[in-house]
Chain A
């Protein structure tokens, strides 16, 4: 198994582990073309069949936890029971990292199971930083936060998204999960330059990159990108990844695919495509990557 603390340019690529591929991955010998896998921890809370598969797969692969339930951007603090379930699962599976999103999903007792948008202002920055502090203290580790896809901006936005995320990093010591697809979705939906975003985001804090596919919809005569995670990575997102790899050392990079999930080999083909872009800029040497 790849040592998650000793990754090289040849072991940065991972894929999301999803239900249709459990048996195929669990029943095969460790595959050389899978360096690590990422899961949504919420799918394994409590135990049961999903958990048994994860436990089995964990014997052969490093696992990363990508949470969708902490609601870190909410006005209310993270749910303690949710944190307790996360911590228990972390103890049992020992993932090499934990990430969640710079968005909110819970209001009062309603959990909306979506990544809802924040105005990028001082009040929400305070809420996000307080919640990251709570999570990091409870889990006893530094976490990663991911830039979301959004379909709404607010009049009291006081700063661009990259500034909001950079401030959260410097205030809490958390790291970033940079979803390049989400940046492209945002750039289209809200009319900003993706290139400028990558210039300004604190890349030194980026521990992981996500690549995924969006869908384009025409709404009221306008192009809106929807972050569906339901198809292959688009060429414009590959172009942005290529630009990022030309300028920065590789970090762990994940192919995410959550809807209309294809055969495992399709995911691995996408990962191989990303690997070729990394190799083109980093000479395929077995160079150690900072983690």
Chain B
């Protein structure tokens, strides 16, 4: 273990100095503590100019992380609004861990409460969708049931001898807006939401990872109910019962045919 050296007398300890620098970088409009100004050896440029370099790195870098995590916000509201909103978020919500993949998970809730975004009621749902896509990208891996081995497992699954769940990347959302279409519209260069029919109806979405791709898919109410119960209870009979309750024409065979090639089911 390392051996310490004698210390000079110091009344501004590293812990306090680092806290003050962190506050100055996150809240650039607050007055800088005199102690901090005095501690910096400003040399050829001012202390404020030096802090500004770091502020640009820190705040600018975190804004870029938010914009990259929610890529449809800028096309839908314009780059200036998107950056200003992200800047407000970053100042009040610094990362809590050094793992930047976790940063910005609560941004959809922030947008919902951000007064200048109140008229854009669809915007938090677009952010939620992209949050789920980000989650799916980084979620742990699991071996999915395939069309090839499903025949072998299905009787045991239906008999309750083998449990079934959804891939850990899989998440669902419901929106009053056609949010997946809205995202496609944003990503295809559509700049004016005035050109988009926001009243085209609600959407239920599932988002998951299939191999090296993140997939987002609009699903009907019965499938939304089926997957929700399956993920919550890992019980296929309850899931089937709920789906049939929603739609008596719910077709389990068709669902399997659609979804088995998409790496969504896992054996537990």
Residues of A in contact (CB 8 Å), total 65
Q: Quick check: A110 and B8 within 8 Å, CB to CB?
A: no
On whether A45 and B101 interact (CB within 8 A), knowing A52-B212, A125-B5, the answer reads yes
A257 vs B19: C-alpha distance when bound (angstroms):
30
Q: If the complex has contacts A82-B98, A154-B41, are A116 and B54 also in contact, measured as CB distance less than 8 A?
A: yes
CB distance from B84 to the nearest CB of A (A): 20
CA distance A47 to B39 in the complex (A): 42
Q: Roughly how many angstroms separate A105 CA and B47 CA in the complex, as a whole number? A: 19
Report the nearest B residue to A153, measured CB to CB: B41
Q: Which residues in chain B, 39-76, are within 8 Å of chain A measured between CB atoms?
A: 39-41, 43-47, 49-51, 53-54, 57-58, 61-62, 65
Mask, B73-105, CB within 8 Å of A = 1, is: 000000000000000000000111111110100
Q: A112-B22, A156-B39, A171-B2 are in contact. Are A124 and B58 (CB under 8 A)?
A: no
A260 within 8 A of B: no
> Interface residues of A: mostly helix, strand, loop or mixed?
mixed
A75 and B18 contacting across the interface, CB-CB below 8 Å: yes
**Considering residues A76, A106, A109, A133, which has the most beta carbons from chain B within 10 angstroms of its beta carbon?**
A106
Interface size class of B (residues with CB under 8 A): 35 or more
**8 Å CB contacts to B: which residues of A157-196?**
157-158, 167, 171-172, 190-191
B137 within 8 A of A: yes
Q: Which of A7-15, A220-228, A232-240 contacts B (4 or more CB under 8 A)?
A: A220-228
Q: Which of B41, B61, B99 contacts A155 (CB under 8 A)? A: B41
Verify A133–B1 contact, CB threshold 8 A. yes
Is residue B15 contacting chain A, with contact meaning CB distance below 8 A?
yes
In whole angstroms, how far apart are the Cα atoms of A224 and B57 in the complex? 14
Question: Which residues of A, 36-61, contact B by the 8 Å Cβ criterion?
Answer: 42-43, 45-53
Tell whether, in the assembled complex, residue A224 and residue B45 are in contact, meaning their CB atoms are under 8 Å apart.
Answer: yes
For residues 92 through 129 of chain A, which have their beta carbon under 8 Å from a beta carbon of chain B? 104-114, 116, 118-119, 121-127, 129
Q: Which of B10, B62, B169 contacts A156 (CB 8 A)?
A: B10
Residue positions of A touching B, CB distance < 8 A: 42-43, 45-53, 68-71, 74-76, 79, 81-82, 85, 104-114, 116, 118-119, 121-127, 129-130, 132-133, 151-158, 167, 171-172, 190-191, 219-220, 222, 224, 226
